[in-house]
Structure 1
Amino acid sequence: MTQLMNHEHSFLSLLCMQKIVFWSFLAGIALFAGVNDSLQAAEGGYRVTDIQRIGLQANGLLRAARSQVDIASAEVISASAFPNPEVTFMAGPDSRRLPESETGPSSMQRQVTVSQSLENPFVRRARIGAAEAGVEASRANLEQARADLAAQIRVSVYEFLLRRDLAMMESDIHGLMGEIQRRIRLSVESGETARFELIRADTEVMTAASRKEAAFLNTERARVALLKLTAGALPAEFNVTASLGDPVDLPSLEALRAELKAANPEILRLEAEQNRARLRIDQERASVLPSVDVLYSNFQDKQFTSNTAGLSVRIPLFYQRRGEVDAAVSDAARVRETLDYRRYEIDRLLESAWQAMEIARRRVEMFEGGIVKEAEAALRVAEAAFRLGERGFIEVLDTQRVLRNTRSELLQAQFELQSAAAEIDRLRAHYPKE
């Protein structure tokens, strides 16, 4: 009996030790997970500039725009190339038409002719200049694509933050409605409140739950849109270390206007195209001048060797490329008119974005200056009065709706402020370089 009790005691001790080891293992896993989460929180998420750099490096459309620059650079090499010489070789036997006694024996004759074009230096210089202007236009196109993508990513980041903050707000409202619902249910069960109030509270809770779910789905949709812009280079569950309340510091409007003339990619592209169109006019006009080919010919037969040299001149006597010149002049006029209009339009776009930014800034200051605080204080007073039985559910609900609308307006105003700043940075091509 004693031996059996000893075996039972040993078995229980072993079982206790296994439980201790098991729970220690789980505690270690939990501790490791907590430490890992703490490390991730310490490291933080991605900044807005980090996400912009990732998107600029990973987006395939930018790689395609870079290829256009390479193509334009290759065209400069083609435009700088000298014309190749042409070599003509002919050979064949002589056929006698008279007796051999008079002509002698028949023989083979060979002729080699070398032709080298002497390129018009004015045409060459204009052609190379037009190709180089094409490179500048392609680079400006690439810069425009970069600025557009960086601004789009920035707006998408702040839209994600907007959706996330709205989802958090709807989650808080859902929790508040749930707490009020529980209080009303207790009052109904105790007979202090009519059942109609509980039905109304249930309806508000379901409505709040629906808004909460929709807000979280919109947040995930904004996350997916951001992943699409970065070509999947971001992890699926990324975090952003930014807020809608980030400060917006920009130069004055006059300084931005001065900067825009030398920094806007579209203006730079149109200026490059204007230069290319002007050089094409020079190229077409220079093509009217006569072109010269240098010729050298070597002729050999059984008796003689002949070396001759000469020039071949193409004279534009009947057609002097009037159509090509007129087309180049018209194209230059088109580019010039487009450039003038786009300069005016971009200046107006800058002014419009600046005004939108100032309006959004004033709205943010107005809401942060007291409206939101007053709505929060009113909700706290209504909640306290409801707990004490001095106010009904309707007063709390109305106050909560006022606060919800106020917070939504504040978040929307902050988002519009960041969007206007992103538009200004897009116009002046201000973005983090890869």
Structure 2
Amino acid sequence: MQKFYILLCLFFSFSSFVWAKEAVTQYSIEEIQRLGLEANGLVHAARSQVNIAEAGVVSASAFPNPEVTFMAGPDTPRLPFELTGPSSTQRHVTVTQPLENPFFRSARIGSAEAGVEASRANLDQVRADLAAQLRIRAYELLLRQKQADMESSIFDLMEEIQRRIKLSVEVGESARFELIRADTEVMTAASRKEAALLNAERARVALFQLTAGRLQSDFEIIASLNDPVQLPELEELHKQIITTNPDILRLEAEQDRARLRIDQERASVLPSVNILYSNYQDKQFTSNTAGLSVKVPLFYRRRGEIDSAIFDSARVRDTLEYRRYEVNRLLESAWQAMQIAKRRVEMYEGGIIQEAESALRVAEAAFRLGERGFIEVLDTQRVLRGARAELLQAYFELQSAAAEIDRLRAHYPKE
């Protein structure tokens, strides 16, 4: 009884270990995206840019520091002692406090805050681009794996046909030419199988690269090429993109910053004021004086800097308008590509694949009975292979178009 209990515990421990291993090595598309967004160095770099911009707001909000000047030294008499008396030491302390122009300060702080918004939009753009790449690479891996499975099944079929032809040649029922042709087709199928396996491995390596090696070496993707794609209508997507596209938001923040830079340059033309306080002491006297120091922009009123800011604002505004137009066209292009892929999927699933499979089964049965030759089987197999390849490609193009739409509207799982 004790031995049975020990064996039972070992069995459950081993089962738990296997289950845990499978749980670790299986990822959904969203889990892969989250891992990539957490580990990719480009995302970290863009997040650092946000931190730098936020530090710039702190710098822009700071008040100017006062300036203290201290001077001291002995008096050296130039007249006789009877007239000047004994020598003494003097000291002179001057405190200067700049008074910042409130219009200049407000524009500078606003410009720094707009820089933060631009950096955040840039971070969202990096995240959206990476999430779309991860989704496309994950579905590409599924595509390559399906292609490898298809080529493996074709290779197995060619080997089975080669074996049957070899037996027929040995008993004298078929010419040796048929065996040579079968050998050639087997070698061709083996080459395609090997290439498909290598392409699948290449797609796996691409996912490793985008996730900075955070995936397990033997990971599997819990997804399928024919996963349903659920997106809003095109009109709703147009409305979303205007308010969510990171590139548009970044350019809007850049436009605000350029406009505030104009205000900043214009405010800098106003006179700048410094408050002065001076204390002077020697052996006989103590003097306290206060005053103002005004810098008057009389000869140069920063015309070049103001014009430069105006032209830069116009540049950003024109870029923003074009980018809005371009993003809407990219959305329509991705939407049309998705619709085309959907129609191709419906066409191949609606009857082409079934008819090609039925034709191959009939050709194989006729070949076994000796009513048809190897050429008929090979032709029907090629037709089926082409149809399956087109269906897989249509699945992949459908998922790629959906990923592009999600990229344009910055729809991705958050870290």
TM-score interval (norm. to shorter): over 0.9
C-alpha distance after superposition, 1:184-204 (max 9, x if no partner): 111111111111101110110
Point out the structure with max Rg over C-alpha.
Answer: 1
- What number of residue pairs does the alignment pair up? 409
Q: Is the 8 A contact 1:58 1:233 kept in 2?
A: yes
- CA pair 35-199 structure 1, distance change in 2 beyond 3 A: farther
C-alpha distance after superposition, 1:24-76 (max 9, x if no partner): x9xx9999978866776688821100100010001111011110000000000
- Counterpart residue number, 1:98: 79
**Structure 2 counterpart of 1:277, one-letter code:** A
C-alpha distance after superposition, 1:67-121 (max 9, x if no partner): 0000000000000000000000011111212111112222111100000000000
Tell me, yes or no, if structure 1 residue 78 matches structure 2 residue 59: yes
- Counterpart residue number, 1:193: 174
Which residue, out of 85, 89, 95, partners 1:108? 89
C-alpha distance after superposition, 1:178-229 (max 9, x if no partner): 1111111111111111111011101101110110011001100100000100
- CA pair 38-168 structure 1, distance change in 2 beyond 3 A: farther
Aligned-residue CA RMSD (Å): 1.9
> What are the equivalent positions in structure 2 for 1:34-73 lying under 5 Å apart?
45-73=26-54
3-state SS of paired residue (1:390): coil
Tell me, yes or no, if structure 1 residue 265 matches structure 2 residue 265: no
- CA pair 310-349 structure 1, distance change in 2 beyond 3 A: same
C-alpha distance after superposition, 1:114-137 (max 9, x if no partner): 000000000000000000000000
Q: Is the 8 A contact 2:25 2:219 kept in 1?
A: no
**Structure 1 counterpart of 2:310, one-letter code:** V
Distance in 1 of aligned mates of 2:23 and 2:112: 52
Unmatched tracts of structure 2, length 5 or more? 1-6
Tell me, yes or no, if structure 1 residue 156 matches structure 2 residue 137: yes
3-state SS of paired residue (2:221): coil
Distance in 1 of aligned mates of 2:44 and 2:146: 34
Which residue, out of 256, 261, 268, partners 1:275? 256
Q: Is the 8 A contact 1:44 1:241 kept in 2?
A: no
Distance in 2 of aligned mates of 1:297 and 1:184: 111
- Please list every run of at least 4 consecutive aligned residues from structure 1 whose deviation after the TM superposition is greater than 3 angstroms: 28-44
- Counterpart residue number, 1:394: 375
- Counterpart residue number, 1:231: 212
Identity of aligned residues (%): 73
Tell me, yes or no, if structure 1 residue 366 matches structure 2 residue 364: no
- CA pair 209-125 structure 1, distance change in 2 beyond 3 A: same
- Counterpart residue number, 1:414: 395
Distance in 1 of aligned mates of 2:266 and 2:318: 22
Tell me, yes or no, if structure 1 residue 427 matches structure 2 residue 408: yes
- Counterpart residue number, 1:6: none
Distance in 2 of aligned mates of 1:312 and 1:191: 115
Distance in 2 of aligned mates of 1:115 and 1:128: 24
Q: Is the 8 A contact 2:119 2:250 kept in 1?
A: yes
**Structure 1 counterpart of 2:163, one-letter code:** R
- Counterpart residue number, 2:273: 292
Distance in 1 of aligned mates of 2:22 and 2:102: 66
Distance in 2 of aligned mates of 1:91 and 1:128: 40
- CA pair 192-33 structure 1, distance change in 2 beyond 3 A: farther
- Counterpart residue number, 1:16: none
**Structure 2 counterpart of 1:55, one-letter code:** G
